Structure formats: C-alpha cells, structure tokens
Amino acid sequence: MSCTDCDKCKCIRDIGRGCCFCSDENNETGVEICQGGAKLNVYDWLEGMPAHQGETLFEVRFKNTRKGYYLNASGMSLEQGDIVVVEATPGHDIGIVSLGGDLVFRQMRRTGFNPAGVEFKKIYRKAKPYDIEKWQEAIGLEHPTMIRSRQIAADLGLNMKIGDVEYQGDKLKAIFYYIADERVDFRELIKILADRFRIRIEMKQIGTRQEAGRIGGIGSCGRELCCASWISSFVSVTTNSARIQEISLNPQKLAGQCSKLKCCLVYELDAYVDARREFPRIHAPLETLDGLYYLSKIDIFDRTMWFSSDPHSMAALTPLSIERVREIIAMNKRGKKPDRLEDPTAVDRQHEEEPDFRSAVGEESITRFDKAKRDRNRGRGRDRSRVGQNGGNGGNGENHTANYVGGESSSAQEQASRSHAESGNRLQRQSGGPNRTRSQGEAVQSQGKTPSKRNNRYNNRKIKNEQ
C-alpha cells in the first residue's frame, strides 16, 4: 500500500517525519513513506547506479530537519524509505533511511560535514512491528509534553519559548527545542521535567530560522520555505544586501516568516557585486555648462546611471550610460565641461519609434466581439424598417400587391403606386425618421389595426391630384 491509499483506510499521518502509520487486518502497525513530504528532502538522482565508495554509510532522517549519518556495520541490504533502528545515547532510536551510496558523501561535502576522525553510530536492524508500535506511542506523547513544558517554563518565569519536543524511539529520552534571546538558566526546569515525565531531558537551543524550518510553510514566492526544503546552514543577512541590489527597504517585504531578513536576499548578491564593479565611482557631481548633476540611482540590468540637478530630489532624472559617465568624468579631470549632460547619439536614439506589439488575431482587445454584434443588430434593423414601410403606408402597400397579383398593369395604376410610395417616404421624414415609422408599422401589425382615417384621406387626395 502506498501513501496515496491512506485516505481509504484509517491512518495516522506524521507530517514532521513524512510517513503514515497504518494498521492491517491483523491489527499490525505498519509505516508508509510519503514521498516528498519530509523536511530537507533530497532526490536520489544516483539511484540504480553502482556505488563506487560502497554502501556503508547512510543518511537517516528523524523528526522535521534533524538528520544523521550512520554506519551499516552488518552489511544488510537497505533502501531509501526503510525504517531502521539506530544507535543512540542512551538506548536506541528509530528513523527513516533518506540517502545511501555515493550521494551520502556528496551531501556531507555540501553541508560541510567532515567525516575524518568521526566515529559513526551503527544501524542495528530494520524496525519490527513491536518497534514501530513503541515508536508510535512515543510520537503520541510529544504534543502533550510540549504544552505541559511551556506551562512549567512560564511558572518558573523563564524568558524562553519551547517550540518543539522530539521523543526517542524507545521513550527513554526527549529533546526540547527552545528559543531564547538571552542566556537562560534552565537547571531547575530540567529537574522538574525529568521528575514529571520520567525521561532523560536534553535542551537544545535553536534560532528563529531553524524554528521556521522545523515548522515549515509557504513563502511569499509561493514555494516551500527554503529553510524547510534545502537550506541546512544559515548565513548572516544584512540590509546592505538589499541596498546593493537596489531593493526598497520595506521591512514587511524583506522579512520572512521567521521575522528575520529573507535568506534569498543573498542568493544573487555576488552577481550584483560583480556587476557593480563595471560602474564608475562617483565622488563628486558631474560638471556641465548647464550646471551640476548628482547621482540619484543606478540600474544594473540596463547599465545606466540616473542623475538629477537637485541632490535632494528625484524629479527630472536624466539617464546616462556607463561610457557617457566615464567620458564626462575624464573631461572634468582635464578641466573641461560638456555642453550638455546627455549623449547626442543617445538622444537621437530615444526619438526613434519603438516597436509596438501588434496582434494579427486581435485577441488583445476586450471589445473585439462588439463590432460583429453591432453589425448583426444593424441588419435586423433594416429588416424591421422594410416591414414598417410596407405595413405603415396607409394600407396601400397591401392594395398595391393585390392589384399586381390581379393582373392590372395600367400606367395610371403604376403612376399612382409610385406617387403613393413617395408620399409614404415623405411622411416618414416628417414623423421623425425610419425608426419612428418602423415602430408605428410594428404596432399596426401586432394589433391588427389599420392606420388612422385622416392619413388615408390625405393619401387618396394626393393620388387624385397627381392623376
């Protein structure tokens, strides 16, 4: 059974160790490893390749970010994800194999661990069901112990915060991780905790960054915290790193979840330091015939330097290339002043038309469907106007159609029909255009009524006069 099947059965997930405790039909407790669910997880990209340095050393992970290197003295066959019983002081501990083979030595070099002269602890055996049950019982005591120890520390008035408690696999020892800004005398606390829980107590002080790594979380970049995914050694981060990279000194954006400066501020610091070496150092303002210009800011990516005539204002900034700044500095050293600050070639280049984005499909416009809709509505309006013309001309349109069907084709009738159409158009213009006439025709057709008698008499009188 894999960890993905844990939702179908009654399993207890341990996020700190990246595994699930499941029970089978015989009520025997087993452990399933959650791939990628542990802190400081490492992908074994050398899996399946022969180990040149042997498989004697293995990396074993415990709760959260605690890991250790152990010696496989008995030469048993171990794979990544095996639950093993390892040597501890006192007793034994239970952990999960995270790495093996040549990748262990690469991991040692990355973390700065020197194996020379180190006596490694041994791996005893693979964990049995009895060991796993006892391990699960020890894990169940961790959270109540942490809550109780916090209360005891508060009663003693100690300026410290107990952030996590980790029990050993045999329940003989527990590690208390705490944070303190100053030195704390916790000798009395150790006596009370040992008497209260009947175990051996080990106090381990950690920093706020280590605590954030043990807790885990998602950073402002949307990815898992670096201190919980791959950082094992922390370096000092100062605000000078932000100044060199031209980052706004906003404490809310520069601080991480540990309330310290983000570790990612030093990732690209060396690249910025190397890039700034190409920029000339400005010890005095640039002198021109127009006046003095002071350096306001620089753009490392664009390789430009911005100058202003007012040293205390950021308005009316003038960008200059590195070459132009060096040229002006050389002229000032010779006692000469340029006519203007800008480079003439750069000014002509700014006046050139910049290429604009043009889409051949027209998908960048949010109103691209309005034109087709407008044309469709306009076509419907023409059809309605034609109906209104035929039905709103005093009913003579129907008479004209009937006369034409009946076969009467005399010239007098044709002339009368033509004059009748002209008089209908004239009435449309007098009544406010085709829109109003169209609405009148629609109203006549919908109600089944004929136009008024006054309009009929007027049209008949016009026809007689023309005849």
* Residue 75: domain span: 3-125
Residue 388 lies in a domain: no
On whether both 75 and 157 belong to a single domain, the answer is no
On whether both 180 and 98 belong to a single domain, the answer is no
Residues in Cβ contact with 334 at an 8 Å cutoff, skipping those fewer than 6 apart: none
Task: State residue 110's pLDDT score.
Answer: 87
Task: State residue 301's pLDDT score.
Answer: 84
Residue 373 lies in a domain: no
User: Among 59, 93, 125, which residue terminates a domain?
Assistant: 125
Exposure of 193 by Cβ count < 10 A (0-12 exposed, 13-18 middle, 19+ buried)? Answer: buried
On whether both 10 and 116 belong to a single domain, the answer is yes
Q: Give the sign of the dihedral formed by CA 381, CA 383, CA 388, CA 393.
A: positive
Residue 186 lies in a domain: yes
On whether both 105 and 45 belong to a single domain, the answer is yes
- pLDDT tens digits, the chain, 467 residues: what are they? 445 555 555 677 777 787 777 766 666 667 777 766 678 888 878 777 777 666 789 999 999 889 999 999 888 888 888 999 999 988 999 999 988 888 888 888 888 888 888 889 999 999 998 998 899 899 999 999 999 999 999 999 999 999 999 999 999 999 999 999 888 998 999 999 999 999 999 999 999 999 999 988 899 999 999 999 888 888 889 999 998 888 888 988 999 999 899 999 999 999 999 988 889 988 889 999 888 999 988 888 888 889 998 888 888 888 898 999 999 999 999 999 888 888 766 545 454 555 565 555 555 566 666 666 566 666 665 555 554 555 444 444 444 433 433 444 444 555 555 665 565 555 555 554 444 444 444 443 444 444 455 555 556 665 656 55
Residue 264 lies in a domain: no
SS3 per residue for 396-428: HHHHHHHHHHHCCCCHHHHHHHHHHHHHHHHHH
On whether both 341 and 296 belong to a single domain, the answer is yes
On whether both 164 and 189 belong to a single domain, the answer is yes
On whether both 23 and 119 belong to a single domain, the answer is yes
Residue 142 lies in a domain: yes
User: Among 186, 212, 238, which residue terminates a domain?
Assistant: 212
User: Among 303, 323, 351, which residue terminates a domain?
Assistant: 351
Task: State residue 406's pLDDT score.
Answer: 41
CA–CA dist 86, 93 (Å, integer): 5
Task: State residue 344's pLDDT score.
Answer: 64
On whether both 338 and 450 belong to a single domain, the answer is no
Q: Which residue has the tokens 């009946």?
A: 406
Task: State residue 101's pLDDT score.
Answer: 84
Residues in Cβ contact with 185 at an 8 Å cutoff, skipping those fewer than 6 apart: 158
Residue 403 lies in a domain: no
Domain of 206, CATH number, reads: 3.30.300
On whether both 205 and 292 belong to a single domain, the answer is no
Residue 420 lies in a domain: no
On whether both 180 and 151 belong to a single domain, the answer is yes
Number of domains in the chain: 4
Using left for φ > 0, alpha for ψ between -120 and 50, and beta otherwise, residue 179 falls in: beta
On whether both 154 and 106 belong to a single domain, the answer is no
Residue 19 lies in a domain: yes
On whether both 22 and 85 belong to a single domain, the answer is yes
